[in-house]
Amino acid sequence: MSIYNYLVKKPNGEILSMETYRGKAILIVNTASRCRFTYQFEELQKLYDQYKEQGLVVLGFPCDQFGQQNPENGEESVQFCQRNYGVSFPVFDLVQVNGKEAEPLFTYLKHEVPFRELDDSIATEKMLKARLQQEYPDYLIGRNIRWNFTKFLVDASGAVVKRFEPTESVLDVEAEIERILPISALA
């Protein structure tokens, strides 16, 4: 299987093949409208604006699986993102990323790259881990997505190259994007 074998659903119900993004670097993110990490929409939009001409696309997938922090449907999520954060990158329909009902694309992504355990020496990660242990202990097992705004970076050949936890710096994400974009695209 390859990332290009997966289908995703737009908020209007239209089905789109990931083949649409062949040849592009892709940053896939499970998002939420009412999360403490929602400010990352601005960072994601800046990355998209800065690198879209060099072949980057950011894809947002609203998810209500973590603390019911995205109560809107797909269309409402798109409107929220556009109105509050100026998001112009594609935002898809509401998905689940863990469990039996997980979107197949996310099941694939989770198993393609290793993850980093949450670090108790970092305050936000320690707090997130404590909340997960209390409310969603299964999400700490294996390669499950821990929380909203987990990011997966896919290179232009379709290989999943990196997973970023929601607490990781956008500067780290940007450095990896620059590493996988063609040199001529950055000139």
CATH class of 3-166: alpha beta
Backbone region of residue 185 per phi and psi (left: phi > 0; alpha: psi in -120 to 50; beta: other values): alpha
| Residue of higher predicted confidence among 52 and 184 | 52
Contacts of 8 (CB under 8 A, 6+ apart): 15, 16, 18, 59, 61, 92, 93, 103, 105
How confident is the prediction for the chain on average, in pLDDT? Answer: 91
Report yes or no: 56 and 47 within 8 Å, Cβ to Cβ: yes
Task: Mark out the alpha helices in 27-169 (DSSP H runs).
Answer: 40-51, 74-85, 104-112, 123-135
- What is the CA 23 to chain-centroid distance, rounded? 19
Summarize pLDDT for 151-162 with one digit per residue, the tens.
999 999 999 999
In the structure, what pLDDT confidence band is assigned to residue 183 with cuts at 50, 70 and 90? Answer: low
- Which residue is associated with the tokens 């299987």? 1
Q: Degrees (nearest 5) of the Cα angle 57, 80, 20?
A: 25
pLDDT-wise least confident of 5-9, 12-16, 135-139, 163-167: 135-139
What does the pLDDT average to over 11-23? 96
Q: Residue 186 pLDDT more than 90? A: no
Summarize pLDDT for 54-97 with one digit per residue, the tens.
999 999 999 999 888 888 888 888 898 889 899 999 999 999 99
Q: Give the pairing type, strands 7-9 and 15-17.
A: antiparallel
DSSP at 180: H
pLDDT value of position 182? 67
What does the pLDDT average to over 96-119? 93
H/E stretch holding 26 reads: strand 25-31
Q: Which own/partner pairs from 116-121 qualify as long-range (CB within 8 Å, at least 24 positions apart)?
A: 116/163, 116/165, 118/146, 118/165, 118/167
Instruction: Please give the Cα distance from 91 to 103 (Å, whole number).
Output: 15
Q: Residue 185 pLDDT more than 70? A: no
Q: Residue 184 pLDDT more than 80? A: no
Q: Residue 187 pLDDT more than 90? A: no
- Based on the residue annotation, tell me whether 35 is a catalytic residue of this protein: yes
Summarize pLDDT for 27-50 with one digit per residue, the tens.
999 999 888 888 999 999 999 999
* Tokens representing residue 151 in the block: 């990011």
Q: Residue 148 pLDDT more than 50? A: yes
Q: Which of 35, 97, 132, 153 is catalytic?
A: 35
